[in-house]
Amino acid sequence: MANSDLRGIVTAAATPVDASFEVDVPRLAQHCARLLEEGCTFVSTFGSTGEGASLSTAQKIAAMAVLKAEGADLGRHIPAIMTPSVDEAAGMAKAAAVLGCRAILVLPPFYYGAGDAGIVAFVDEMLKRAGRPDIDLLLYNIPQLSRFAYTPALVDAMQAAFGEQVVGLKDSTGDVANGVMLAERYPNLSIFTGDDRVLTPLLAAGGAGMIGGMPNLFAADLCAIYDANGNDTAAPLVEKQAARIAAVDNFGGIGALKAGLAARDGHPGWCRAVPPLQPIGANAAKQLFEAFGRTGAFLTENV
């Protein structure tokens, strides 16, 4: 694999925001540094977990520039492009390349019912307006939110159009069969899952790892599952992660992850979410932490 570094556990980093819903860059920098220290190979900023669709391109570029200026290694950052505006997408792609990001994670343009040709045309125009930057593309397959899937036919079309610039794909369908199929069909691409429960079979099929939200709180356990390299010895940890995913889904999704980060760091600002998302309530947080406790992860509602 030409891009053999694109493997491992990549955290889809949550984004801390201040009372004005601007990115809290110092806290984001601390969070990303901690995730890398805990064994994650990269962090992916401003994706779904990072509320990327709720933040403007200007906000994201400004935050990335400050991260770079403050010494963050953006060579270990993979920011997401999550916009149906080709001009906004181009601005993000250009900035990511100029700032030295390792790759960009590209969501299909949502809203209009574009077919495969339209999505290829969107990415082509994005790259054209960005000045054809020398930056790798990871395709972001999350049709339950974007409305469009990176099917094999579309992946083939993207490779035909952009060649080796397409280096991988994140499959957030949660479908084991789909992830395994992609890993087997595209051995030269880095195929990631967005779901902890798919990680072991994906690795066994030659997949690259995971890009997901759960490492925000459980990076060490996800890295241990990855290190098992598809072996069933990781089954007890996978079972714990499945229970933790269920708890997060049941008690607020992104808000639940942020409540967990607030409790872990003792910083209530982590609970803020950019509207329309809302913080979870005290009762939901209590039930979330009780569910985590049953898996051996003890957080306290001290925020």
User: What is the per-residue pLDDT for 169?
Assistant: 98
Q: Does residue 272 belong to any structural domain of this protein?
A: no
Virtual CA dihedral for 116, 172, 45, 186, nearest 10 degrees? -60
251 alpha-carbon distance from chain centroid: 20
**By C-alpha distance, which of 119, 99, 100, 117 is closest to 109?**
119
Q: Does residue 64 belong to any structural domain of this protein?
A: yes
Output the 3-class SS for the chain.
Answer: CCCCCCCEEEEECCCCECCCCCECHHHHHHHHHHHHHCCCCEEECCCCCCCHHHCCHHHHHHHHHHHHHCCCCHHHECCEECCCCHHHHHHHHHHHHHCCCCEEEECCCCCCCCCHHHHHHHHHHHHHHCCCCCCEEEEEECHHHHCCCCCHHHHHHHHHHHHHHEEEEEECCCCHHHHHHHHHHCCCCEEEECCHHHHHHHHHCCCCEEEECCHHHHHHHHHHHHHCCCCHHHHHHHHHHHHHHHHHHHCCCHHHHHHHHHHHHCCHHHHCCCCCCCCCCHHHHHHHHHHHHCCCCCCCCCC
User: What is the per-residue pLDDT for 299?
Assistant: 81
User: What is the per-residue pLDDT for 103?
Assistant: 98
Contact present, 284 and 253 (Cβ < 8 Å): no
Q: Does residue 279 belong to any structural domain of this protein?
A: no
Q: Does residue 293 belong to any structural domain of this protein?
A: no
Arithmetic mean of pLDDT, 196-205: 96
Query: 256-273 burial string, b = 16+ CB within 10 Å, else e?
Result: bbbbbbbbbbeeebbbbb
The per-residue pLDDT for range 1-39, each reduced to its tens digit, is 567 899 999 999 999 999 999 999 999 999 999 999 999
Q: Does residue 106 belong to any structural domain of this protein?
A: yes
Q: Containing domain of residue 35, as a range?
A: 8-229
Q: Does residue 236 belong to any structural domain of this protein?
A: no
The residue that leads in pLDDT, 302 or 202, is: 202
User: What is the per-residue pLDDT for 303?
Assistant: 42
Q: What proportion of the chain, given as a percentage, has pLDDT over 90?
A: 91
Arithmetic mean of pLDDT, 287-300: 91
Residue written as token pair 């499945």: 242
Q: Does residue 78 belong to any structural domain of this protein?
A: yes
The per-residue pLDDT for range 217-251, each reduced to its tens digit, is 999 999 999 999 988 889 999 999 999 999 999 99
Structural domain total, the chain: 1
Mean pLDDT of the residues in the chain: 95
User: What is the per-residue pLDDT for 4?
Assistant: 84
Q: Tell me, what CATH number does 225's domain have?
A: 3.20.20.70
User: What is the per-residue pLDDT for 130?
Assistant: 98
pTM: 0.95
The per-residue pLDDT for range 77-127, each reduced to its tens digit, is 999 999 999 999 999 999 999 999 999 999 999 888 779 999 999 999 999
pLDDT at residue 129 above 50?
yes
What Cα–Cα distance (Å) separates residue 91 from each residue in 41, 52, 169, 243? 26, 14, 21, 39
Q: Does residue 297 belong to any structural domain of this protein?
A: no
Cis check for the bond before 276: say yes or no (omega within 30 of 0).
yes
What Cα–Cα distance (Å) separates residue 180 from each residue in 91, 150, 205, 261, 264? 34, 14, 6, 32, 34
pLDDT at residue 69 above 50?
yes
pLDDT at residue 302 above 70?
no
The residue that leads in pLDDT, 63 or 230, is: 63
Give dist(CA 106, CA 138) in Å, integer: 6
Virtual CA dihedral for 124, 126, 127, 131, nearest 10 degrees? 130
Contact present, 212 and 194 (Cβ < 8 Å): yes
Q: What proportion of the chain, given as a percentage, has pLDDT over 70?
A: 98
The pLDDT confidence band at residue 199, using thresholds 50, 70 and 90, is very high
